[in-house]
């Protein structure tokens, strides 16, 4: 495998591809972000980001048009030393992993590739997928240099974390491991080598662990609040200068594109015997119902009432709405025949906040954006985050 200079990222204009592409451009690689989303390609080539990512704007303006470009031309794959795929494994309506979705993307690009190229799988994949894809390249190209190097960055903080977190590198052979390690050693302070299936499980277990933590907090929250007590008075007593509770998370809507999906993948990996993960899903997915019921206890029958949901993205101070549970809250309220109005400062189509609050008869805080800290609370509300109490 010759010296690596040119790297392309398939699906590169998304939340995984852009931070990685910017980091690789910063350390001197020629990077092409290949994406079928023409609007995202145009936005990036104009020097702008299609979503919020701290620290990315300055890097994009520095390297775009120099050693970083975005393109929808898949033929550019032919000119690359390294091809990075950021396609993750989705789950179907029955919570089973759809490995075929990943294979379909790989198969679309194999005719443009050669056996000497390094292939890096970057996003979350089901255990054993790297092995399957490596065999696919051997059968169709006569050789395989496939590595799995999972991303572990926090969305919105990717630029900061990609340069500070250890990078896990795994491969089916030493040659592709050395090549992948040489790339990531330029942007990461430490390389951790694992077998491919070990690395695949690292990513799934990491996300599942977070999902379990949130589920524990949400279960305690619902248990206490259902009895008419203040969960956060108890929470404060537990965590106040008590070292063994320093990582006790607050309650909140556990959503986004990864945590639920990866927990279900891990459950499938364990032949659906991962009862802890499945129980966590029931708790986290059940929280929206609890919040709607809490508001109903405060104001009575919701039919015909003007109810406002503040925050529709899946995390605070971000513009990503993927898998946000605020949309589930909206459906539940609509089922109870409430007049539902939603607002989010990171969604351009949202109406003015003052107009939304003017006729509100009840509020549910979906996402604790900073923009909501100082709003006047003149009607009954539900805030599982303890956001307004602390902000005031």
Distance CA 35, CA 13 (A): 6
* Element containing residue 333 per DSSP (H, E): helix 326-335
Please report the pLDDT score of residue 101 as a whole number: 87
Tokens linked to 128? 């054993």
Question: Distance of CA 344 to CAs 15, 40, 315, 347, Å?
Answer: 20, 22, 11, 5
Distance CA 115, CA 113 (A): 7
Name the nearest CA neighbour of 86 among 177, 14, 194, 152: 14
Please report the pLDDT score of residue 257 as a whole number: 85
pTM, whole model, 2 decimals?
A: 0.91
**236 Cβ contact partners less than 8 Å away, ≥ 6 residues apart:** none
Distance CA 13, CA 21 (A): 9
Question: In percent, how much of the chain has pLDDT > 70?
Answer: 99
Distance CA 86, CA 15 (A): 10
Mean pLDDT of the 143-148 span: 95
Tokens linked to 119? 């292939």
List, for residues 312-344, the tens digit of each pLDDT value.
999 999 999 999 999 999 999 999 999 999 999
The yes-or-no verdict on residue 209 having pLDDT over 70 is yes
Determine which of 100-104, 291-295, 364-368 has the lowest per-residue pLDDT on average. 100-104
Please report the pLDDT score of residue 63 as a whole number: 97
User: What's the distance, CA 279 to chain centroid?
Assistant: 21
């Amino acid at each position: 495998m010759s010296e690596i200079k040119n790297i392309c990222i398939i699906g590169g204009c998304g939340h995984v591809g852009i931070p990685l592409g910017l980091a690789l451009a910063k350390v001197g690689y020629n990077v092409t972000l290949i994406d079928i989303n023409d609007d995202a390609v145009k936005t990036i080539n104009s020097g702008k980001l299609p979503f919020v990512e701290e620290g990315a704007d300055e890097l994009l303006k520095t390297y775009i048009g120099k050693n970083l470009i975005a393109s929808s031309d898949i033929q550019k794959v032919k000119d690359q030393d390294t091809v990075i795929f950021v396609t993750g494994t989705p789950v179907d309506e029955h919570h089973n992993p759809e490995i075929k979705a990943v294979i379909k993307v790989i198969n679309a690009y194999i005719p443009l590739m050669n056996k000497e190229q390094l292939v890096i799988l970057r996003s979350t994949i089901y255990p054993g997928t790297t092995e399957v894809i490596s065999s696919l390249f051997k059968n169709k190209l006569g050789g395989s240099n496939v590595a799995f190097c999972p991303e572990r960055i926090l969305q919105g903080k990717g630029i900061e974390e990609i340069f500070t977190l250890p990078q896990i590198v795994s491969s089916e052979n030493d040659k592709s491991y050395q090549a992948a390690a040489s790339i990531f050693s330029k942007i990461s302070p430490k390389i951790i080598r694992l077998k491919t299936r070990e690395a695949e499980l690292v990513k799934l277990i990491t996300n599942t662990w977070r999902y379990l933590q949130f589920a524990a907090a949400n279960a305690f929250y619902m248990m206490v609040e259902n009895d008419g007590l203040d969960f956060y008075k108890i929470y404060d007593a537990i965590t106040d200068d008590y070292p063994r509770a320093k990582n006790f998370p607050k309650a909140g809507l556990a959503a986004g594109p990864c945590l639920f999906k990866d927990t279900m993948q891990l459950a499938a990996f364990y032949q659906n015997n991962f009862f802890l993960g499945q129980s966590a899903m029931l708790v986290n997915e059940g929280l929206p119902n609890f919040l709607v019921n809490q508001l109903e206890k405060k104001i009575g029958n919701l039919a015909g009432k003007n109810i406002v949901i503040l925050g529709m993205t899946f995390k605070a101070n971000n513009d990503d709405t993927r898998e946000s549970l605020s949309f589930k809250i909206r459906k539940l309220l609509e089922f109870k025949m409430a007049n539902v109005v939603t607002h989010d400062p990171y969604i351009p189509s949202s109406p003015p906040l003052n107009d939304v609050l003017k006729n509100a008869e009840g509020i549910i805080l979906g996402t604790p954006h900073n923009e909501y800290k100082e709003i006047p609370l003149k009607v009954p509300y539900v805030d599982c985050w303890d956001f307004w109490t602390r902000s005031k």
